[in-house]
Structure 1
């Protein structure tokens, strides 16, 4: 495919990022390829570049707690297609990725031919989700829908809660008041249909993303 696209490869593992860079370069002739190794560096690029066509996003990067990075991208840059490239191939993860507005999901285990085919499909304007995983993902729609109802900040709070942080510690990390965190907790419990921290964490763990 010969076209001029601007694509950002966002992955914190240098070896995989370099391999993906080479693959995309082979797949898409003349593409302008940019790299980011954290959510902050990705956001910096997007705020300076107004012609990005596609983001290839790793879910496990510094600054991104699970789906919160994808959520922030879809919120701030809704017109840019995001394709998640992840080692987490669980149907629950694929289900979440899809519900949060990703344009596609490519497993890191994909071979070169599959990767190139998927990229070309996406750049032609068609979503790409592996057929087998997509069908299995439908089983997780209830949990997925609940988690998708959270705002990016609420998702961050929930992820930190799952890491064992106290309200005071979460407030410090996010630079907000403890009262704000308590308000987030109330909203999270309501949206997830749970009554306490343990239930909320269990719900998140049912869709856990592996590294």
Structure 2
């Protein structure tokens, strides 16, 4: 079976190591490497037959876990494995809560990375041995994560576009919908996030990103 992978990391040597692992997973693979977040977004917009994305949270243009939210909004079914040097229990738990299919610390061996990729391709969730998935200790962050999970993929796309500073007219163009539809989505997003304005919604999104980068 031919598989299509994306490696998204700004370190060429590490991308090369990941490529070696992915090439050993299947005899037929297509691998695209990118080093910045905008390139990942464009690839996911352009290709709907991807099998797996390996994603660094802190590459140029990335915004931590809010970047994961944006990518899952574009392709909800695409398995995404976070590959990160920030690998504490809280960060891993948050990533899985927001839809990641696995989490690979950058200290993981080549064999371990291969095991993770194979597990996720088989439909499993993969976390490092010894990692305990815990409930979010911060009550406010836990509430935000739960609220974000109630958003539909289209509402998540609208939220991430609000975070980019797009106006309703621009969002309508990007989504090929009417401005009235966008307004309805924005209203639903505000209600689900329990905020009163677009600005507050953007603050919620940025807080999730900042939490993951600070952990």
1:140 and 2:137 equivalent? Answer: yes
Write the distance in 2 (CA, Å) between the matches of 1:76 and 1:147: 18
- Give the secondary-structure state (helix, strand or coil) at the position aligned to 1:15: helix
Quickly say closer, same or farther: Cα 1:188–1:45, change in 2 above 3 A. Answer: closer
Partner in structure 2 of residue 174 of structure 1 = 165
**Aligned counterpart in structure 2 of residue 128 of structure 1, from 107, 126, 140:** 126
Partner in structure 2 of residue 209 of structure 1 = 213
- Give the secondary-structure state (helix, strand or coil) at the position aligned to 1:64: coil
Write the distance in 2 (CA, Å) between the matches of 1:46 and 1:188: 23
Deviation at 1:17, TM superposition (A): 1.1
After the TM superposition, which residues 37-48 of structure 1 pair with which residues of structure 2 at under 5 Å, given as runs?
Answer: 37-48=35-46
Is 1:12–1:37's contact at 8 Å kept on the other side of the alignment?
Answer: yes
Quickly say closer, same or farther: Cα 1:152–1:175, change in 2 above 3 A. Answer: closer
Aligned positions, number: 181
Partner in structure 2 of residue 16 of structure 1 = 14
**Aligned counterpart in structure 1 of residue 67 of structure 2, from 50, 66, 69:** 69
Is 2:159–2:202's contact at 8 Å kept on the other side of the alignment?
Answer: yes
Quickly say closer, same or farther: Cα 1:156–1:86, change in 2 above 3 A. Answer: farther
Deviation at 1:154, TM superposition (A): 6.3
Deviation at 1:76, TM superposition (A): 1.1
Partner in structure 1 of residue 101 of structure 2 = 103
Write the distance in 2 (CA, Å) between the matches of 1:210 and 1:12: 19
Deviation at 1:188, TM superposition (A): 6.4
Quickly say closer, same or farther: Cα 1:85–1:204, change in 2 above 3 A. Answer: closer
TM-score, with structure 1 as normaliser: 0.71
Write the distance in 2 (CA, Å) between the matches of 1:153 and 1:132: 37
**Aligned counterpart in structure 1 of residue 57 of structure 2, from 50, 56, 59:** 59
Deviation at 1:62, TM superposition (A): 2.0
Runs of 4+, deviation exceeding 6 Å: 152-158
TM-score, with structure 2 as normaliser: 0.70
